[in-house]
Structure 1
Amino acid sequence: MNLAQIKSLAAERLARLRRPTRRGVAKAVAAVPVLFLLYVLVLIPFTPGISDIRKAKSDQPAQILSADGKPLAVFKWANREWVRLADISPNVTTALIATEDHRFYQHFGLDWRRMGSAALHTFSGDRQGGSTITQQLARNLYPDEIGRAPTLTRKLKEAITALKIEALYTKDEILETYLNTVPFLYNAYGIEMAARTYFDKSADRLDVLESATLIGMLKGNSYYNPVINPERAVQRRNTVLAQMVKYQKLEPAKYELLKKRPLRIDFERQTEPPGPAPHFAQQLRKWLITWADRNDYNIYTDGLVVRTTIDSRLQALANQAVARQGNQLQGIADAAWAPRSGWAANKDLVQAFVRETPAYRAARESGQTPEAAMKQLLADTAFMQALRQSKTRIQAGFVALDPRTGEIKAWVGSRDFTLDAFDHVQQAQRQPGSTFKPFVYGAAFEQGAKPDDTFVDQAVEIPLAGGEVWRPSDDGPPSGRAMSLRDGLVYSKNTITAQLMQSVGPAKVAKLARAMGVRQSRLDPVPSLALGTSPVTLKEMVSAYGTIANQGAYLEPVMVSRIEDRKGEVLETFRPASPEQALPVATVQTLLDVMRGVIDRGTGASIRTRFGIRADVAGKTGTTQDNADGWFILMHPQLVAGAWVGFNDSRVTLRSDYWGQGAHSALPMVGDFFQRSLRSRMIDANVRFVEQKETGLFEALGWTIRGWYQRWFGSAAKPEAPPAPKRAARPAPPDTAALEPEASVAASVASAPPALPALPGASSPAVEQGGADAAPAGAPASAPPAMAAPSFTQDDARARASESSQP
């Protein structure tokens, strides 16, 4: 066909359109419904299926249970409590039908008469809705599939879904489902939560006025909200009452009486109870959503039953221990930061707090000068009181796990989930202080060092990059005498640990810490890492100590044992991961034996003296600069538990050289927990860590020679660790106060001295003495920019530290 023919054909068609025949008009008219029907058929696959609608009829949120079958949480998609139609006041259904769909019982999902009337009014400029209750339910149940755009496609999808719902639901079921799914603001979904929120009563007790008020809100939750727009709410309520009169559901005389009455709102936001382990549930929800997406389940509707590893009894003990110690420490913090003492004495810090608030930023954006904005807010008593309470609220984290399986048994993320939902177990990264030291000693023992090897307690100067020098120190001047590695860890001596770190190497210590469980946080391989200057999470540290308690085998922490469907059939079982041997067994036993001394006669001795725990336990304390962070982790063959105590803002401290130490802030939480766990026999007091048999004389000599070779010639091959030494009888623990004297240690920068010698062999006997547990900060490159020189962290023996990162 050439161009001329195409033009001729086009002209012919155009002429027919200009002068249509009767037959052509009839075809065109007949084509409209056909095309419309085809379009409807095309849309059907894009609407919710029959199976989806059936499932919506029996939606069940996931149930989260403890290992012993106690409820921990319910994962609802909204704050809703489903009630049967029989348990809803008849006033509600009467008001709903009269206002939203008076022909509800006469149609099958679509009210053609109402749709036609609504269309005529809309064309005349008075826009009206023609949706039935069933159509509104379709929108509420499937907002994503149907949408809310005012388009023909959306209305068709809504109509198709409404017809499907009517085919599967009875009229009463539709009413029940509608009233239980409609939103009422303030995170209140369904008529039951609405009744509690606005009138402090259950849905079956709503009277006519209250029912009309809530049904009136359906036209516009915010616009007709009785709390924020009471006048509009009254007008809309009276409109609902008038509709009830119109359809003979309310007598006119009673209407005249009721419409004059004021709103009587008893408003209270409804919050879901947090449950016994809310922070654990919060972390579990994230994990479960991923699992459900991968396995094609919905955690809010499919009735999953998740059996966790949490022991409800241990969780209760953990909650109580954190509450008791937290309340005691809060009293000390309140006194230390009283308005006319500690708060007033820290004027610069307080003003820094003010400058960081939204109120200050708003004042500046409104045009006020910095001085005027600061003066105004400092004079605002209510604002300053709220700021002080927020900044000086003691926080804590606690977690316990079974080292044999990696199963988490207790998890407390803060003192009160409703006041602080931030999780101080898994989210907060804080400097661990001297709780990090066991990684240094473990790396040394792996290389062949022995607990009786010694270093001289002397001033230490370690060169850093850029010609600067790090000088870690303790609470008092160096004694100049030899001290064994055992006593260096037991009394948390910084000078000994720093020398040991230089011999082992920061990179090897960081590698070991990662292998043992510190796997998410970044560890800076600098000398000060030995004293805990790289922020980590409590969960990581307790997991790493679990590796020690598990004979050097790392197990990834586990939260869930199995998941079942709503019928009780097991969908998946979760077994402990294969253990990864991070340290040789003999090396771990040596480290464990040394860490027993921390509890028997060192900085953690109050576990014995105060809490009377006689079980085979080992652990470590930790404290950072100015008591910003207090740590304690305790190991038992069946349970490892750790606690962190501090403030969300690390610039705030307890301002107490006694209570700020980990031995007096975090240790009592763990001690209380373990004491009650042992008394209730949830863990066995008679179980002991497994001791490896001693090797023969020649084998021991071989280990010694290999250790010497490793230390003096730096063999690339890593020799196995020597066997653990025999435990000596425990001496009577001294008063813990003598082990935790006040210390003040400063860092300085100077020219670099010669490097320290390599790790020495066994030398003179250990010298017991009270020592400091100061933890120096990292190299200047990793220090906060505001600091001119590296700072220091400290444990229970009090030396300075750089601030930990704020969560």
Structure 2
Amino acid sequence: MAKAKKKSVDNSFHPFIKWFWILFLSGILGVFLIFLLAAWGVFGEMPTFERLENPQTNLATEIISSDGATLGKFYLDDNRTPVAYEDLPENLVNALVATEDARYYDHSGIDGIGTMRAFIFLGQRGGASTISQQLARQLFVGVRSKNLFQAVTQKIKEWVIATRLERNYTKEEIIAMYMNIYDFGYNADGIRSASRIYFGKEPKDLKTEESAVLVGMLKNSSLYNPIRREQLVLDRRNTVLSQMEKYEYITEEEKDSLQALKMDINFSPESHREGLATYFRMYLQGFLNNWIKNNPKPVVAEGERETWNIYLDGLKVYTTIDSRMQKNAEDAMAEHMKKLQAEFFHQNTPQRNPTTPFLDLEREEIKTIMERAMKNSERWRTMKAAGKSEEEIRESFNQKTEMTVFDWNSDTREKDTVMTPMDSIRYYKTILRTAMMSMEPQTGHVKAWVGGINYKHFQYDNVIQGARQAGSTFKPFVYAAAIDQLRMSPCDELPDSQYCIEAGKHGNPEPWCPKNSDGRYSGNMYTLKRALANSVNTVTAQLIDKVGPKPVVSIVKNLGLTREIPEVPSIALGTPDFNVYEMVGAYGTFVNQGVYVKPVMVTRIEDKNGSVLYEYVPETKDVLSKEVAYAMINLLEGVTEGGSGTRLRHSFNKNDALYKEIITGYPYEFTNPIAGKTGTTQNQSDGWFMGMVPNLVTGVWVGGEERATHFKSINYGQGASMALPIWALYMKKNYENPDLGVSKEEFPAPENMSINLDCSKVIQVEGEEDDLEDDLDLDF
């Protein structure tokens, strides 16, 4: 009986065992079937094998300086530059794995333990999305749907894609892809941008606590954003550090010390209107757009665009700009212009100048300028496009409104204020503008490019768009023609006396009798070297009369100054308009032993895979002999040894304190060889300085947007006061960094010099911008 009873008990468990296996096998079959259906696209389109091999993401074009720094990027929505796994710091990878997927190296895309936990506790004890699944969602699935059925099918697709990603990529590649794809906010697309924007450094330089901040943001970068919610992000960072300690990536002592640290956020937004070399980057944008028109993609894959896109294709543009010299240039400009602008405001109050900011203009002329500025404004264009009547538009220009305007005295260079749009136009007319370009003469490589004082508020690039009268900086071209054509020497002498070129000669329409800047004639004999140093107009007039305007224009054209230049004697005093880009290229020829090298800004362009798409070919031209070029350097050295550029070298006893208030950084006290030329145009509308050392040529221009915006006195309005200080500050900063290699040596002289440079006597007389004590005889 007992035996029969045991048999009865065993039979009673058969149905349970049977159903267990049926449910178990059905579950496995169901999961397999779900995966199969998802793979077939039943739950929506799945990425093809080709897309898995080459996931498409928008990549920003990166602008790279000659010293390897990123100057900026071009992008539309995605400011993304990929980083290889090898360039990710170990602490970042550890923080990611500890926080997001502790068993990452043990699964194949799906974490079984985590998935079971999520099902059992309904996600209350953590989710189950692996790093691979999160990457799948970012690349191919998208934002989680609020519809339950769609959310479930999205999850299934994530599982399928995650397992495929694990088959196609290594664990390291998946981590790199995930960190490169994530949007950290504030245009920080991917870890490279996030590291630069939030901490001002490359990913490889991130500290453990900084990596913890960025990994903490992966939970929700909009919520956990250090700029908006500092305390919340700090708490989240400390949670990440706790996870790193839990999984033994750091010790408890390290965790405690790191959690005690404050967040050291160095917020450096990357936008098209902010950052380093903004004007140059906008020039480069035009350069690339022109290059794209003439250079279609050599190989076009199916579904790809036939033309390059600078915002999406991840190009790398290698430039000649040196980020260190660029920063020096921008800092020097800001340092001097802030001070110069303050003095301009001081002198142009309505009480001192009723027509401020304009001088020497009648009321109707001022009205014309303001009317033109109003009609060219963005407000006018926008309102006209919206169908507003002219009467409505004009009325709006006289209504006070809240606005943000440029302001030198603010750390952000702008201030919030209330004024009428017409008053804002007048205010901006008072702001002095500038341009600066620095070039290596032997190669033509442009090292620094400053197109203005602030790109956000002043987008006109005065380096290459603006052209202004060259003033006395044109005179060296006349001297070069005379030495080249007539074999004159810097030691040849001409008298400083009234000199006239009669009507009809050299195409002159009427008699031309130029005066010196002070209206006086000394009657003394001047060597060419001293005459150029002191910008003696009468001597320059005699030279162009001797050589003729045509040879001067011919030389100027060969020096890269390609604008229309009338072949008349008056050009000798710098009446034609040129821009800084042209002038630097031309002066570079003197340093480069008579060989003109066209300025170059881009050396190479590569695609995202490193294939070279473009390499520049130097454009050169022999213009002057080595002897003539060196003779010009000798002449221009005289400017800094005994002429208008002397203040680069010496400290004067009289009025030193006053001069320090006027000119930033004075005294400069350079002792190395410097060749240069100041320039000042009529009414002090433009101030120039061209400065040269053996391996660097730099041009600086300063002036108002309107020629009628200028200083009343030459004491402030001359090139030696407006432009020269920027050059001096820039060079001082360059010399402070020996790694830049800026020369302090002598200019190299040619062998067997045939032109006499040994002037036994140099006569010192007053001339334009000559005597500092006269310059400081202020009358305000």
Shorter-chain TM band: 0.5 to 0.7
| Contact 1:343-1:350 at 8 Å conserved across structures | no
For residues 123-138 of structure 1, the aligned pairs below 5 Å read none
| Contact 2:72-2:270 at 8 Å conserved across structures | no
| Contact 2:674-2:691 at 8 Å conserved across structures | yes
SS in 1 for 2:66: coil
| Contact 2:484-2:628 at 8 Å conserved across structures | yes
| Equivalent position of 1:522 in the other structure | 564
Moved more, 60-69 or 432-441: 60-69
| Contact 1:516-1:547 at 8 Å conserved across structures | yes
| Equivalent position of 2:747 in the other structure | 688
In the alignment, is residue 623 of structure 1 matched against residue 623 of structure 2? no
Q: CA RMSD in A?
A: 5.0
Structure 2 CA distance, aligned partners of 1:691 and 1:313? 32
Out of 641, 661, 683, the position equivalent to 2:698 is 641
Q: Residues 671 and 295 of structure 1: is their aligned pair in 2 closer, same or farther, counting only changes over 3 Å?
A: farther
| Contact 1:639-1:683 at 8 Å conserved across structures | yes
Q: Residues 52 and 350 of structure 1: is their aligned pair in 2 closer, same or farther, counting only changes over 3 Å?
A: farther
For residues 433-472 of structure 1, the aligned pairs below 5 Å read 433-450=471-488, 451=490, 452-463=492-503, 468-472=510-514
Structure 2 CA distance, aligned partners of 1:650 and 1:302? 43
| Contact 1:397-1:413 at 8 Å conserved across structures | yes
SS in 2 for 1:398: strand
Structure 2 CA distance, aligned partners of 1:272 and 1:287? 19
Q: Residues 466 and 323 of structure 1: is their aligned pair in 2 closer, same or farther, counting only changes over 3 Å?
A: closer
In the alignment, is residue 337 of structure 1 matched against residue 353 of structure 2? no
SS in 1 for 2:498: coil
Structure 2 CA distance, aligned partners of 1:427 and 1:412? 12
| Equivalent position of 2:735 in the other structure | 678
Out of 711, 714, 721, the position equivalent to 1:664 is 721
Q: Residues 732 and 607 of structure 1: is their aligned pair in 2 closer, same or farther, counting only changes over 3 Å?
A: farther
SS in 2 for 1:342: coil
| Equivalent position of 2:549 in the other structure | 506
In the alignment, is residue 397 of structure 1 matched against residue 469 of structure 2? no
SS in 1 for 2:714: coil
- State the 1:496 CA deviation: 1.7
Structure 2 CA distance, aligned partners of 1:79 and 1:396? 33
Out of 316, 319, 343, the position equivalent to 1:305 is 316
For residues 350-369 of structure 1, the aligned pairs below 5 Å read 350-355=366-371, 356-357=373-374, 366=389
5+ residue gaps, structure 2, are 1-46, 83-92, 101-125, 198-212, 224-266, 299-307, 402-417, 651-666
Q: 2:497 is aligned with what amino acid?
A: D
Structure 1 CA distance, aligned partners of 2:570 and 2:532? 16
Structure 2 CA distance, aligned partners of 1:349 and 1:189? 51
Q: Residues 511 and 740 of structure 1: is their aligned pair in 2 closer, same or farther, counting only changes over 3 Å?
A: farther
> Quick one: higher RCO (CA 8 Å, sep 6+), 1 or 2?
1
| Contact 1:70-1:312 at 8 Å conserved across structures | yes
| Equivalent position of 1:77 in the other structure | 76
| Equivalent position of 1:589 in the other structure | 630
| Equivalent position of 1:62 in the other structure | 61
| Contact 1:56-1:301 at 8 Å conserved across structures | no
Q: 2:590 is aligned with what amino acid?
A: I
| Contact 2:469-2:681 at 8 Å conserved across structures | yes
In the alignment, is residue 418 of structure 1 matched against residue 460 of structure 2? no
- State the 1:619 CA deviation: 1.0
Q: Residues 96 and 502 of structure 1: is their aligned pair in 2 closer, same or farther, counting only changes over 3 Å?
A: same
What do the CA deviations read for 1:383-404 (whole angstroms, capped 9, x no partner)? 3542232111111111111111
| Equivalent position of 2:592 in the other structure | 550
What do the CA deviations read for 1:544-582 (whole angstroms, capped 9, x no partner)? 0000100110111122333445455655544544x3110
Structure 2 CA distance, aligned partners of 1:528 and 1:375? 44
SS in 1 for 2:600: coil
- State the 1:52 CA deviation: 8.3
TM-score, normalised to structure 2, is 0.60
- State the 1:70 CA deviation: 1.5
- State the 1:693 CA deviation: 2.2
Q: Residues 497 and 398 of structure 1: is their aligned pair in 2 closer, same or farther, counting only changes over 3 Å?
A: same
| Contact 1:400-1:641 at 8 Å conserved across structures | yes
Moved more, 318-327 or 611-620: 611-620
Structure 2 CA distance, aligned partners of 1:466 and 1:724? 33
Q: Number of residues paired by the alignment?
A: 553
What do the CA deviations read for 1:229-256 (whole angstroms, capped 9, x no partner)? xxxxxxxxxxxxxxxxxxxxxxxxxxxx
In the alignment, is residue 725 of structure 1 matched against residue 772 of structure 2? no
SS in 2 for 1:659: helix
Structure 2 CA distance, aligned partners of 1:518 and 1:331? 34
TM-score, normalised to structure 1, is 0.58
Structure 1 CA distance, aligned partners of 2:285 and 2:525? 53
| Equivalent position of 1:105 in the other structure | 154
- State the 1:443 CA deviation: 0.6
What do the CA deviations read for 1:292-351 (whole angstroms, capped 9, x no partner)? 534545433443333322222221211111111111111012223334443555555553
What do the CA deviations read for 1:451-502 (whole angstroms, capped 9, x no partner)? 3142452142442669533332121233344433333212111122122212
Sequence identity (%): 30
Out of 602, 611, 626, the position equivalent to 1:560 is 602
Moved more, 581-590 or 537-546: 581-590
Moved more, 322-331 or 337-346: 337-346
| Contact 2:80-2:188 at 8 Å conserved across structures | no
What do the CA deviations read for 1:199-218 (whole angstroms, capped 9, x no partner)? xx99987999x99xxxxxxx
| Contact 2:500-2:511 at 8 Å conserved across structures | no
Structure 2 CA distance, aligned partners of 1:503 and 1:591? 18
| Contact 1:589-1:724 at 8 Å conserved across structures | no
SS in 1 for 2:699: strand
What do the CA deviations read for 1:41-71 (whole angstroms, capped 9, x no partner)? xxxxxxx999789656244323222211112
- State the 1:741 CA deviation: 9.4
In the alignment, is residue 282 of structure 1 matched against residue 282 of structure 2? yes
In the alignment, is residue 473 of structure 1 matched against residue 515 of structure 2? yes
Q: 2:629 is aligned with what amino acid?
A: V
| Equivalent position of 2:244 in the other structure | none
Structure 2 CA distance, aligned partners of 1:534 and 1:735? 22
What do the CA deviations read for 1:753-802 (whole angstroms, capped 9, x no partner)? xxxxxxxxxxxxxxxxx9xxxxxxxxxxxxxxxxxxxxxxxxx99xxxxx
What do the CA deviations read for 1:69-91 (whole angstroms, capped 9, x no partner)? 11211222336469999999999
Out of 590, 597, 603, the position equivalent to 2:644 is 603
| Equivalent position of 2:527 in the other structure | 484
- State the 1:505 CA deviation: 2.0
| Contact 2:61-2:317 at 8 Å conserved across structures | yes
Structure 2 CA distance, aligned partners of 1:627 and 1:436? 16
Structure 2 CA distance, aligned partners of 1:626 and 1:595? 24
Q: Residues 360 and 283 of structure 1: is their aligned pair in 2 closer, same or farther, counting only changes over 3 Å?
A: closer
Q: Residues 395 and 527 of structure 1: is their aligned pair in 2 closer, same or farther, counting only changes over 3 Å?
A: same
SS in 1 for 2:743: coil
Structure 1 CA distance, aligned partners of 2:312 and 2:534? 55
Q: Residues 276 and 60 of structure 1: is their aligned pair in 2 closer, same or farther, counting only changes over 3 Å?
A: same
Structure 1 CA distance, aligned partners of 2:268 and 2:732? 39
Q: Residues 638 and 466 of structure 1: is their aligned pair in 2 closer, same or farther, counting only changes over 3 Å?
A: closer
Structure 2 CA distance, aligned partners of 1:572 and 1:271? 26
Structure 1 CA distance, aligned partners of 2:151 and 2:495? 91
Structure 1 CA distance, aligned partners of 2:761 and 2:539? 24
